A = this chain, B = another copy of it.
Amino acid sequence: MTTDHTGGRGGATIGAAPAAGPRASRRAGTRRKLFDAAVTLIAEQGFSATTVDEIADRAGVAKGTVYYNFTSKNDLFEELLRDGIDLLAASLRHAADTTYRRGGTRIDALDAMVRAGLDFIAGSPSLTQLYVAELWRTNRTWRATLKSVRGRALAVVESVLRDGVDTGELSDDIDIPLTASALFGMVLVAALDWQSFQPHRSVDDVHASLSRLLQGRVGGAAAAVPRTAPAATAPPSPAALPLPATAP
Residue ranges of A at the interface with B (Cβ–Cβ < 8 Å): 43-49, 99, 102-105, 107-108, 110-111, 115, 129, 132-140, 147, 150, 168-171, 173-175, 177-179, 181-190, 192-198, 201, 204-226, 230-236, 238, 240-244
Contact = CB atoms under 8 A, between A and B. Distances in A.
| Chain copies in complex | 2
Contacts of A243: 217, 220, 236, 238
Contacts of A242: 216-221, 236, 238, 240
A171 B134 CA distance: 37
Contact of A179 (B46, B178, B212): B212
The 8 closest A-B pairs by CB, nearest first: A216-B216, A185-B189, A220-B242, A104-B230, A214-B219, A48-B48, A186-B186, A108-B230
A222 B108 contact: yes
Contacts of A47: 46, 48-49
Nearest to A100: B233
Contact of A220 (B48, B129, B135, B216): B216
Contacts of A215: 216, 219-224, 240
Nearest to A240: B215
A193 to B, nearest CB: 4
